[in-house]
Structure 1
Amino acid sequence: MHTVRREALSALPVRHAVPALRSALSDRGVAVLAAPPGTGKTTLVPLALAGLLDGEPPHERGQVIVVEPRRLAARAAARRMAWLLGERVGDRVGFTVRGEHRRGSRVQVVTTGVLLQRLQHDPELADVSAVMLDECHERHLDADTTLAFLLDVRAALRPDLCLVAASATADTAPWSRLLGGDDGSAPVVETQAALHPVEVVWAPPERPLPPPHGMRVDPALLAHVAGLVRRALAERDGDVLCFLPGVGEIARVAGTLSDLTSADVLQVHGQAPPAVQDAVLAPGERRRVVLATSVAESSLTVPGVRVVVDSGLAREPRTDHARGLGALTTVRASRAAAEQRAGRAGREAPGAVYRCWSEAEHERLPGRPRPEIELADLASFALQIACWGDPGARDLALLDPPPEAALRAARSTLTAIGAVEDGRATERGRRLARAGVHPRLARALLDGAQQVGRRTAAQIVALLSEPPPRGAGDDLTATWRSLRRDGPPADAHAARWRDEVRRLEQALPADSAPVSRPADDVAAGTVVALAFPERVARARPGGDYLMASGTGAALLAGGSALASARAGWLAIAVADRPAGAPSARVRQAVVIDEDVARLAAAPLLQVAEEIEWRDGDVIARRVERLGAIELSARPLTAPDPELVRKALTQGLRDGGLSLLTWTPAATALRERLAFCHNALGDPWPAVDDAALLDHALDWLPAGARRRADLAKIDVTAALRGLLPWECAARLDEMAPERIEVPSGSRIRVDYSGERPVLAVKLQELFGWAAAPALAGGRVPLVVHLLSPAGRPAAVTADLGSFWKEGYKAVRAELRGRYPRHPWPEDPTRASPTRRPNPRRRP
């Protein structure tokens, strides 16, 4: 080993923690390593455990695996370790990422996805002595799953396998409990970073800007970030590391800074070419401005940085399980992430961080980022745990359980593509898992190869497996044609695409070949629709589309290559639905026809008889649908009578009972029945709107088939049909329709109010000591005493008291006005009459 590299190793603070870590692993086999970024945990610790440092024996015989959450970080870690040993990558230190493998004899750096694949077919890891999971604090779903599987392996197969959970934060208690299991908390080994002071400069925009919305970041904020970079270059020494949420924002800020002459502008993200990644990780001859995503928070150490400019934004996954739409969304970074970012300025010397928000806003930020398991599409996770043999994840050591609704949606997706059955992985599901892509894409790869050919299916799936290149239009077929041109790859995206095509093609059986090669749109549309059948979409009259999932979709305004095609059908590859938006936005799609839609989305094809209330009447028809898309319909000549009755019931719910013909007799009967139910309770039936609708099937006649039939229903007979026989026999007794008064008149009782009312002329009640009580004597009858002209004169529920106390006042007031009518002093002894006294002859 060269002297300079010994010096580089000795400068790493984590070297002081190695003895304690080795001791903890010897005692317990598990440990948590807390070491801030820049301390050397990713590079020195694996070399020490593998016995590759001077005077350090290996902790155990066997290979040391280092697990990184990102491909960029895995490559960088392997190169750094090989450099420290004075070797090339592939000697004693290697790495494996999707599509690229360099075998190392002692240390292998892999991504979480690669290790998950290996654990599924080789859970024993016989040639491995230790596994270190790096950056576990970032809470990536694959990382959480990998650790849970490794703890299972330790418990069941390899108690000698050493596990190290390495975190860049001091929040180690949850990991310690998780790794310790039933034996108590696992040992925690901490390393203090030799941090220099970092000055915080609060630098919000001059005027408040709208918060990020979906993937959109206000251009004014990006202009402000670029201005802060220029300010930092003028005010401070050293390189500037600027954190931005995504590739698009990095490109926009880089464009704004393109006129810089005092510094080189570098862009680092997961899609950056290897040459750019190498340039970022090595000191430059000139000052540098490094524009980076969150990958530089803890996964990568960028030398020479003295200043950090932090936009305060990050990207998180969001999944709309009901619509089958997933996307990244821009959010405010957490306080923990802001501290990680700021710390990058103090690794080598005193530094400064310029934050694009105020100190007051900082206190309102979330404490830490949410774990991915709470936010992401869980289809891949659900397939992994099903193949592992624990489809409910009940026995897995996870810091956070998967949300039940998201897990149900994932299982539904897997069941639909034949990957699981009764929760257990099928043989097909295991084949899909081995493809190393999302289960939807694996299904499109396997089934698509039979339709369009191995290479074509691999090319389309490779295109779907990562975000489209910057500047790509919404026509996926055009993007595919540009990528498959002969000659060297045009850029890093094209190079990665070709590597992934080769990998996917090797994963397919050799006999996956169609009879003939279809046209480009047919081939691409078939594969896309196989991956996302619920996103097959048909044009609507307004110019937008309806997806099979039932969600509307609109092409991008002013920049859609697909708009000119005016396609009747699309297979949508990439779409997102902004919060609050009624429709999804189509980011990439393929023009297809109905035949392709029917073929690729065949599981969604249904033929059903629909009998329902729609547009004010019963509709009965046989309908062919592709999900929510109606393909054809024809009327039913003999619909199921019971289903028709249910549709009529729904019509009554929608349109109300006013659709029936309410004669005065029907209304009066309903009021009498309501009175009995309120006064006597069961078994007298309730006849309010809700009750009648709930029991509509009991009183709707069998022959009713349409709205017009509702108006013909004899409502009076229907109401009487609701009465039990014992109630029907006593209805006139409990709630008589009319009551005979002393004059001999039979007066109708009004049951429309809270109490039954008898409105009758006062003279007809002479001699009546008391009005009868109804409902078996429970409810007194309220008497409205009318003048001879039929106008209200008095109201009483106690007629006897009225004769004694109220009658005199009424008599005094009305006697002179109606002299021809009798007004006896004692009405209880007078004869009732319906007529006035005869006129006196002159």
Structure 2
Amino acid sequence: MAAELPVRHALPELLGALDAHGTAVLTAPPGSGKTTVVPLALADAGLRVLVAEPRRLAVRAAARRMGVSYAIRGERHTGADPRVEVVTTGLLLQRLQHDPELPGADVVVLDECHERHLDADTALAFLLDVRETLRPDLRLLATSATADAAPWSRLLGGAPVVAASGTPHPVETVWAPPARPLPPPHGMRVDPALLAHVAQVVRRALAERDGDVLCFLPGTAEIARVAGQLRDVTDDVEVLQVHGQAPARVQDAVLSPGTRRRVVLATSVAESSLTVPGVRVVVDSGLAREPRTDHARGLGSLTTVRVSKAGAVQRAGRAGREAPGTVYRCWTEAEHERLAEHPRPEIALADLTGFALQAACWGVPDPAALALLDPPPAAAMTAATATLTDLGALDGGRVTARGRRMARLGLHPRLARALIDAGPRAAEVVALLSEQLPRDAGDDLVEVWRSARRGGDAFASRWRQEVRRLSRSLAPGSGGASGSGGAPRSGGGAGSGGGDGLADDAFAGLVVALAFPERVARRRGGGYLMASGTAAALGEGSKLAGAPWLAVAVADRPTGSASARVRQAVEIDEATARLAHPVTTEEEAAWRVPPGERRGDVSARVVERLGAIELSSAPLPDADVRAALLHGLRTEDVLTWSKEALAVRARLAFCHRAVGEPWPDVGGAGPGMDALTDLADRWLEPELSRARRRADLERIDVATALLRLVPWSERLDAVAPERVQVPSGSRVRIDYGEERPVLAVKLQELFGWDSAPSVAGVPLLVHLLSPAGRPVAVTADLASFWRDGYRAVRAELRGRYPRHPWPEDPLTAPPTSRTNRRT
């Protein structure tokens, strides 16, 4: 069978490229044999081969198919052929950190590099460093199932690209969309109607085609739901559920020929690097899961996305491994054309805390110096560096001895911190947190812990295996048991074994709080407030409801929600929270608006806080509250603005607008306070210095205070008089609230005036009023109004107001504020 695989024809060119250049890129479509044929061919050429796969399932499958050794976290197997070893990319990173020269390896094969897993990208960057500085003889081979090899070639220093064309067997595509359009996935939610449709397509495939069926779904919950909908076919067909947490016996069963027809429901772990015997049909839901990280809140989650074109090709290739096959795609051909070409690289999406620690341990605190296809996002790196500094893993950007110890444990740095600080007993809790918990696990982590202790299922077995590994890593003489060399900033820590006297519940809470100090949460209203400042809520019916404090182990933020959703947590007390997270005491003088209210006031207190959680406060009687008062002035309508005060402000604004310096800018006549607050020293003293609270500001005579802004060399009445005398003898107030000053006066009072006066060189805009005080005309040119507009106004209004004078010639008529009879 191997002799027939297309990659066989490319082996001479590939071996020549590696001999000549030391690096190469191999592109080969799914099922062409690149994962299993190439390593053995390299071994036959006299090379010791180390193969790195992105997934544990792929490691076991490839090693089993080749009959070679493999190693994954917590598990090693010695095969019949010692020349080839298959490992996960994560384990390869640990080996590189332990001994960068990789003794015992002549060539490293990074398989499925097109999937852009973070560990694979990091391992390749480290290997390029090793080749350049320590092992120029080390050969590197990157393999990809896609034809886009140019970026990899450039990254490997212009490495030759060897293409293995052709596929073992043709795969027919059947487009099988739902009968009607369905809502797209939202967060983790997948429309049940789509899952029902996928189950129906599986039945259709069983009826229309021969062979086993491999069905791709985004996650374990969707796998379980579709499996439930296929219960009626289990008499003749065996239904297997495969994902990263599936028991080893299930994985082994999938990789072995079945005794009857099978339906294999799988996540993306089955996309690459393995052959499922007997599969002739693939049913593709078209969905996948990607990580999302909220760096500001320190929360991670998975979200459901459409599969990329490259991913769809990978999935379809599973059907043509052993014979001609068929892929049923649960979307339309038109939708397929709109899919992204490739999945987004994990480095652009994931929490980079582990990556940043790996880079720092490698001696590269700035990842820009690494040979990466895509640079890590700046915000993600900033958050990662801050977290590692808080954990004591970095100091000034450089890795500490404690940080190196954390990296050797093979855990996320947060879990490594908890294991180191809480001691060997923490291995049981940390092992729980290092694996994805069962789908039916409740939100009380202590109950999950007790269940794992009692249980005999696959999860409990994996948990015990990880507990043993972690316990060995802390044993004297192991790499993980060396000195700490750097203290965490997040709380004091329990010290090695410091929690041994605690009951299980309290100890579990301590471990979780040490791992995730910013997720320590105190009850607030109907939910919780985390130390990070993020609101959080338990699910309905949670046994943890009512706990005053929680240490949140697993939380995510649903799409579109501002609050976190607690998945797993432990009840703790305030003492544990204080132990895990630093407590600060600050003198605070601020303008605070109580929750649910609109009016703020000065708050002068001594406040004790645990992150965003306020633990206690006491009044601070002699605090400097000036900055708080100024903030209140700037953000709220605090002062009492009488009509007189508004008028003074408008006049001052006009003076600045019309004359400029030395008149100050008061921000116009509107309500904004920014400009006036900037001038507070010039007009609000001495009242501002005496004020202690909002009420003191409200009592200020604003009109009188504003007059302090009149320059000493000027007179406000001379530049912007409050009133002007009109021909009738009345003194009429000028309105400075508009762009031009307005004189609103009854028409009869202006008889004989052929032009309006000016203030500061700006002509008044005259609003001519009827006897009832209603505007009848607006003009800046009185002579033009008397000549052209007055006749129409007179004709319209003299019948309505017969007691008022309406002369034919207003320029010669005597002005008056009275009626005809009174006149």
Please give the TM-score of this superposition, normalised by the length of structure 2: 0.88
1:536 aligns with: 520
Q: In the alignment, is residue 212 of structure 1 matched against residue 179 of structure 2? A: no
Quick one: distance in 1 between partners of 2:390 and 2:511?
16
Listed as ranges, the matches of 1:601-616 within 5 Å are: 602-603=581-582, 605-614=584-593, 615=597, 616=599
Distance change in 2, residues 1:819/1:131 (3 Å): closer
Listed as ranges, the matches of 1:457-536 within 5 Å are: 457-485=426-454, 490-508=456-474, 510=476, 512-514=496-498, 516-536=500-520
Distance change in 2, residues 1:224/1:804 (3 Å): closer
Q: In the alignment, is residue 81 of structure 1 matched against residue 54 of structure 2? A: no
Q: Is the 8 A contact 1:534 1:547 kept in 2?
A: yes
Distance change in 2, residues 1:786/1:243 (3 Å): closer
2:699 aligns with: 712
Q: Is the 8 A contact 2:418 2:426 kept in 1?
A: yes
Q: In the alignment, is residue 554 of structure 1 matched against residue 518 of structure 2? A: no
2:487 aligns with: none
Quick one: distance in 2 between partners of 1:631 and 1:590?
20
Listed as ranges, the matches of 1:749-788 within 5 Å are: 749-759=734-744, 770-775=755-760, 777=761, 779-783=762-766
Q: Is the 8 A contact 1:617 1:706 kept in 2?
A: no
* Structure 1 residue matching 2:366: 3-state secondary structure: coil
Shift of 1:793: 7.8
RMSD, aligned CA:
3.1
Distance change in 2, residues 1:823/1:20 (3 Å): closer
For 2:6, the aligned partner's letter is: P
Shift of 1:429: 1.6
Listed as ranges, the matches of 1:179-218 within 5 Å are: 179-180=156-157, 185-218=158-191
* Structure 2 residue matching 1:128: 3-state secondary structure: coil
1:302 aligns with: 276
Quick one: distance in 2 between partners of 1:231 and 1:403?
45
Moved more, 638-647 or 27-36: 638-647
For 1:247, the aligned partner's letter is: T
Distance change in 2, residues 1:825/1:549 (3 Å): closer
Report Cα offsets for 1:541-579 as digits up to 9, x if no partner: 32x222222222222235x3434xx32221111122211
Q: In the alignment, is residue 46 of structure 1 matched against residue 78 of structure 2? A: no
* Structure 2 residue matching 1:539: 3-state secondary structure: strand
Q: Is the 8 A contact 1:613 1:647 kept in 2?
A: no
Report Cα offsets for 1:742-796 as digits up to 9, x if no partner: 6765443232334323455777767766543221x2x112345678897878765
Please give the TM-score of this superposition, normalised by the length of structure 1: 0.86
Quick one: distance in 1 between partners of 2:615 and 2:697?
31
2:490 aligns with: none
Please list every run of 5 or more consecutive structure 1 residues that lacks an aligned counterpart in the other structure. 1-7, 52-56, 83-92
Moved more, 513-522 or 587-596: 513-522
Shift of 1:131: 0.6
1:731 aligns with: 716
Shift of 1:811: 8.9
Report Cα offsets for 1:609-650 as digits up to 9, x if no partner: 252231423133332222222222333322322233234225
* Structure 1 residue matching 2:96: 3-state secondary structure: helix
Q: Is the 8 A contact 1:38 1:193 kept in 2?
A: no
Please list every run of 5 or more consecutive structure 2 residues that lacks an aligned counterpart in the other structure. 482-495
Distance change in 2, residues 1:218/1:742 (3 Å): closer
Quick one: distance in 2 between partners of 1:672 and 1:205?
71
In the alignment of these two chains, the number of paired residues is: 788
1:583 aligns with: 563
Quick one: distance in 1 between partners of 2:767 and 2:117?
79
Q: Is the 8 A contact 1:548 1:627 kept in 2?
A: yes
- Which of these residues, 569, 583, 598, is aligned with residue 578 of structure 2? 598
Report Cα offsets for 1:710-749 as digits up to 9, x if no partner: 32112123322334444xx143332122334567654432
Shift of 1:808: 8.4
For 1:508, the aligned partner's letter is: L
Q: In the alignment, is residue 101 of structure 1 matched against residue 85 of structure 2? A: no
Distance change in 2, residues 1:672/1:277 (3 Å): same
Quick one: distance in 1 between partners of 2:791 and 2:246?
104
Q: Is the 8 A contact 1:649 1:697 kept in 2?
A: no
Quick one: distance in 2 between partners of 1:32 and 1:140?
17
2:92 aligns with: 115
For 1:500, the aligned partner's letter is: E
Distance change in 2, residues 1:125/1:745 (3 Å): same
For 1:124, the aligned partner's letter is: E
Quick one: distance in 1 between partners of 2:125 and 2:182?
42
Shift of 1:187: 0.7
- Which of these residues, 691, 709, 718, is aligned with residue 722 of structure 1? 709
Shift of 1:103: 5.8
2:204 aligns with: 231
Quick one: distance in 1 between partners of 2:237 and 2:794?
109
Q: In the alignment, is residue 635 of structure 1 matched against residue 619 of structure 2? A: yes
Shift of 1:372: 0.8
Quick one: distance in 1 between partners of 2:774 and 2:77?
105
Moved more, 146-155 or 231-240: 231-240
Moved more, 798-807 or 310-319: 798-807
1:165 aligns with: 142
1:5 aligns with: none
Distance change in 2, residues 1:254/1:569 (3 Å): same
Shift of 1:678: 2.7
Quick one: distance in 1 between partners of 2:341 and 2:497?
53
Quick one: distance in 2 between partners of 1:825 and 1:297?
97
Distance change in 2, residues 1:796/1:815 (3 Å): farther
For 2:544, the aligned partner's letter is: L
Q: Is the 8 A contact 1:673 1:687 kept in 2?
A: no
Distance change in 2, residues 1:350/1:761 (3 Å): closer
* Structure 2 residue matching 1:702: 3-state secondary structure: helix
Moved more, 314-323 or 624-633: 624-633
* Structure 1 residue matching 2:16: 3-state secondary structure: helix
Q: In the alignment, is residue 663 of structure 1 matched against residue 663 of structure 2? A: no
Quick one: distance in 2 between partners of 1:584 and 1:568?
17
Quick one: distance in 1 between partners of 2:617 and 2:705?
35
Quick one: distance in 2 between partners of 1:833 and 1:361?
81
